[in-house]
Amino acid sequence: MTIRPTEVPARATARPAGVFRRAWIHRADYLYVLPAIVVMLIVIAYPVYYTIELSFYNTPPSLQLRDKIFVGFDNYAIILGSDVFWQVTLNTFIWTIVSTGCAYILGLGCALCLHRAFPGRAVMRAILIIPWVISAVAAAYIWKWIYHSNFGVIGALLVELGFAGRPPNFIDSVNSVLPSLIVVNVWREFPFAMIMLAAGLQTVPDQLLRAAKVDGAGAWHSFWHVTFPHLRGVSIATILLLAVANFNSFIVTWIMTGGGPANASHIWITHIYEIAFGRQRWGIAAAYSVILFLIVMSLGYFYVRGLGGAEKEGGAS
């Protein structure tokens, strides 16, 4: 009688672990992530939720907040129907786009200038960073006095040198207030762009520049065909950071003009602040914030998608 080995039925393939099994295996990982998630829920998720909820209520000054009245989408209608909102929206877009663009270009120019060594370069670098490191509040106050319509330094110089009969009106005129504030904002921000781009410039491959030189590219063509495309990744990141900062830029406008004159320098963020804290209209301010949130998130989404595309193309190789 032959002894046959007992046949063990072979499993065709090992069964893949189910979701719960995998989660259990990784239970320690969840614990590590837990504190961060809790903080995010408290600091971000809950306030966002509460703001959205509040946006559907009316909060008159004669009632406590907890006695607010439900009004559905009325707050949104009020905002979208008010002329001031559209003017402030226009201001905000002008503010953000022009500030970001100018800060980027100025930063790029300075980074390029500081790229090659010359005597005193380190000193120049230090001086150029000063606007960024100065306290924003201090800078705003100083610029307010520089721009002063009667006794500002700029006005005084122009009059002394005979270029103008009277000091120019920078921040007390509805037409020139926004450009004047943009100048201050760009002055504050360009060192950031300069530093980011200077770092990027260090990584431009030397051989590529030499190849371009041999190919006959002069300074401009070298920049345009070699340096600038190489800076694409850094540029996109810098512009994104600048744009976000500018959308939310509060200090310069609030301190220098408080949004005036006649709402000419109000941007979204200062206008919301005024409605919430100056006028106690929490419901309307919440609705306003939600509208802004949606607009900025969609802009951000498309921007980051473009950024992702750039990364796939190896823009910063």
Partner 1 sequence: MSKIHLGCAVRRGVSTASIAAALAVWWPASAQSPVDLTKWSPEYVRSIAGTQEFDTAADCGKVTPLNYRGRVSFWYQGAFEGDPDLLRQYYRDFFATFRKTYPNIQLEDQALTYNDLLDKFRTALLGTAGPMVVRLQILGGVEFASKGYLQELKPEDIGYTAQDFWPGAMKSNMWKGKTYGIPTNNETMALIWNADLFKRAGLDPDKPPATWDDVVRYSKQIKEKTGIAGYGLVARKNAGNTPYRFMPQLWAYGGGVFDEASASPNYAQIQLNTAASKRALQASYDMYVRDKSVPVSALTNQQADNQPLFLAGQLAMMISHPSDYDVMLDLKKKATGSDAQTAQNVIDNMRYGLIPTGPDGKRAVVFGGSNMHILKPEYVDGGKVDQPAAKALVCFWTSPEWSLKMAYAGSNPGNLNGFKTKWMKERLENIKFLDVTTAMLPYGIPFPTIPETPEIMNIIVPDMLQNALTGTMSVDQAAEDAARKIRNVMSGGKL
Partner 2 sequence: MAHVVLKNLIKTYGGYNAVNDVSLTINDGEFVALVGPSGCGKTTTLNLVAGLTSLTSGEILIGERLVNDVDPKNRDIAMVFQNYALYPQKTVYANLAFPLQMRKLPRDEIDRKVKQAAQMLDMTHLLERKPRELSGGQQQRVALGRALVRDPAVFLMDEPLSNLDAKLRVQMRSEIKRFHQDLKATIIYVTHDQLEAVTMADKLAVMSGGNLQQYDSPAKVFANPVNMFVASFIGSPAMSLVPLTASTVDGRAVLAGAEGWTLALSPLNARKVQRATSSKVVLGARHSTIKLTTSAVPGAIPAKAYTVEPTGDVTFVQAMLSGAIVNISVPPDVAVEADQPIWLAFDQDRMHLFDGATELALKAD
Which residues are at the interface with partner 1 (CB under 8 A)?
A: 58, 60-65, 69, 71, 74, 78-79, 82, 84, 144, 148-151, 167, 169, 171-174, 256-264, 274-275, 277-281, 283-284
Q: How far is the CB of 148 from partner 1 (least distance, A)?
A: 6
Nearer to partner 1, 212 or 272 (CB): 272
- Report the distance separating Cα 249 and Cα 270, nearest Å: 8
Residue 61 carries which side chain, given as an amino acid letter?
A: P
| 260 interacts with, out of partner 2, partner 1, none, CB within 5 to 8 A per kind | partner 1
Q: How far is the CB of 107 from partner 2 (least distance, A)?
A: 22
Dihedral angle sign, alpha carbons of residues 25, 28, 34, 37: negative
125 near partner 2, judged by CB under 8 A: no
Nearer to partner 2, 78 or 208 (CB): 208
> Site for partner 2 (CB under 8 A): which residue of 158, 204, 217, 245?
217
- Report the distance separating Cα 287 and Cα 289, nearest Å: 5
- Report the distance separating Cα 292 and Cα 189, nearest Å: 23
Nearer to partner 1, 20 or 151 (CB): 151
- Report the distance separating Cα 155 and Cα 148, nearest Å: 8
The greatest distance separating any two alpha carbons of the chain, rounded to the nearest whole angstrom, comes to 124
Nearer to partner 1, 32 or 70 (CB): 70
215 near partner 2, judged by CB under 8 A: yes
Token pair of 174 as six digits: 């509805």
Q: How far is the CB of 174 from partner 1 (least distance, A)?
A: 5
**CA 155 from centroid of its chain's CA atoms:** 32
| 208 interacts with, out of partner 1, partner 2, none, CB within 5 to 8 A per kind | partner 2
Number of residues that this document lists for the chain = 317
User: Each residue of 256-271: b (16+ CB within 10 Å) or e?
Assistant: bbebeeebbbbbbbbb
Contacts to partner 2 by CB under 8 A: 205, 207-208, 210-217, 221, 225-226, 229-230, 232, 313-315, 317
